[in-house]
Structure 1
Amino acid sequence: MIAVKDNPPNFTPEEYFAWESQQLEKHELINGQVYAMTGGSINHGRIAIKLTALFDAHLDGSGCITGNSDIKVKIVESEDYTYPDASVTCDERDKTTTQYITYPCLIVEVLSKSTEAYDRGGKFRMYQNNPVLKDYLLVSSTSIEIDLYHKNDAGQWMIINYGAGDTIELKSINLSFPIEQVYRGLTLTPET
Structure 2
Amino acid sequence: MIANPHDLQLSAAEYLAHEQDSPIKHEYRAGEIYAMAGASEAHVTIAGNIFALLRSHVRGSGCRVYMADMKTRIDATNCYYYPDVLVTCDERDRALKQFKQHPCLIIEVLSPETEACDRGDKFFDYQQIETLQEYVVISQTQPRVNIFRRDQSGLWTLQFYEPDTPVHLQSIDFKISFEQLYEDVVFEEPDEVGQPSDQE
TM-score by length of 1: 0.95
* Stretches of structure 2 lacking an aligned partner (at least 5 in a row): 192-200
Are 1:52 and 2:20 counterparts?
Answer: no
Shift of 1:42: 0.1
Q: What's the counterpart of residue 144 of structure 2?
A: 145
Shift of 1:11: 1.0
SS in structure 1 of the partner of residue 167 of structure 2: strand
Q: What's the counterpart of residue 108 of structure 1?
A: 107
The structure 1 segments of at least 4 consecutive aligned residues displaced by more than 4 Å after TM superposition are none
Distance 1:191 1:11, change over 3 A: farther
Kept in 2: contact 1:165–1:180 (CA 8 A): no
Kept in 1: contact 2:144–2:162 (CA 8 A): yes
CA distance, structure 2, for counterparts of residue 14 and residue 190 of structure 1: 45
* Stretches of structure 1 lacking an aligned partner (at least 5 in a row): none
Kept in 2: contact 1:113–1:191 (CA 8 A): no
Alignment of 1:1-192 (within 5 A): 1-5=2-6, 7-8=7-8, 10-189=9-188
Kept in 2: contact 1:142–1:191 (CA 8 A): no
Indicate the RMSD between aligned Cα atoms, in angstroms: 1.4
Kept in 2: contact 1:29–1:82 (CA 8 A): yes
Kept in 2: contact 1:111–1:140 (CA 8 A): yes
Kept in 1: contact 2:110–2:140 (CA 8 A): yes
Which protein has the larger Cα radius of gyration, Structure 1 or Structure 2?
2
Shift of 1:190: 6.0
1:86-112: CA deviations, max 9, x gaps? 000001111111100001000000000
Work out the number of aligned pairs and report it: 190
Q: Percent identity?
A: 36
47-56 or 74-83, which moves further after superposition?
74-83
Shift of 1:77: 2.5
Matched to 2:114, the amino acid is T
Shift of 1:35: 0.2
CA distance, structure 1, for counterparts of residue 176 and residue 134 of structure 2: 15
Shift of 1:4: 4.1
CA distance, structure 2, for counterparts of residue 107 and residue 168 of structure 1: 14
